Chain A
Amino acid sequence: ETGVTQSPTHLIKTRGQQVTLRCSSQSGHNTVSWYQQALGQGPQFIFQYYREEENGRGNFPPRFSGLQFPNYSSELNVNALELDDSALYLCASSSDREGVSGANVLTFGAGSRLTVL
């Protein structure tokens, strides 16, 4: 079984630009969550997607948005980038189906490191 894959692994943007980060969930998983991990900090919950709809959101402004596709992959979009958006963005998938590997436990990808100049 494949794990969670994210792309790109690294990217550099300038203030005011927009960025899209992509995530392929682990096989059999139907839920995707996104986390932001600033340098030296623990991850912070951005939002979760289930059945292609946002299903819970953390304390992040609306310029952070996302999508989930029918194949359960997901995108995180950030508009009007600010310097403080520089961070490692982690995608995690899980399943609400008992018996599926990783049911009700998050499986994380390696992250996309975003630098905003």
Chain B
Amino acid sequence: AQSVTQLGSHVSVSEGALVLLRCNYSSSVPPYLFWYVQYPNQGLQLLLKYTTGATLVKGINGFEAEFKKSETSFHLTKPSAHMSDAAEYFCAVSEGSYNTDKLIFGTGTRLQVFP
């Protein structure tokens, strides 16, 4: 069975500081991995995804994530936080290419950005 663990339900950073949101996964097959962002009263928006190939994935809004198979991790980073980055972030895994619509989500990390 697949699962996702997001370490830290809340993360607070100052504007301009590094953002690091942690995600570890468990999967019995080569996983597809995703990061989504959810702003208040909105649906989820895809930030980036890893399927195969290059392990460093660049997404929208300056975010990137690195797939580390040996550590079963897919942490999300951004070099410099902006106030507009304050939102809920979800890491998700799917059963590879078998069904990319059936995602297993983590419980989310709420990012706060202070001026």
Contacts and interface: CB of A to CB of B under 8 A. Distances in A.
Interface size class of A (residues with CB under 8 A): 20 to 34
Interface size class of B (residues with CB under 8 A): 20 to 34
B43 A110 contact: yes
B103 A104 contact: no
B63 interface: no
A45 B104 contact: yes
A49 B36 CA distance: 22
Contacts, number: 56
Nearest to A104: B100
Nearest to B42: A110
A33 B103 CA distance: 10
A109 B42 CA distance: 8
Contacts of A48: 99, 101-102
Contacts of A105: 46, 49, 100
Interface string B93-115: 00000011111111110000000
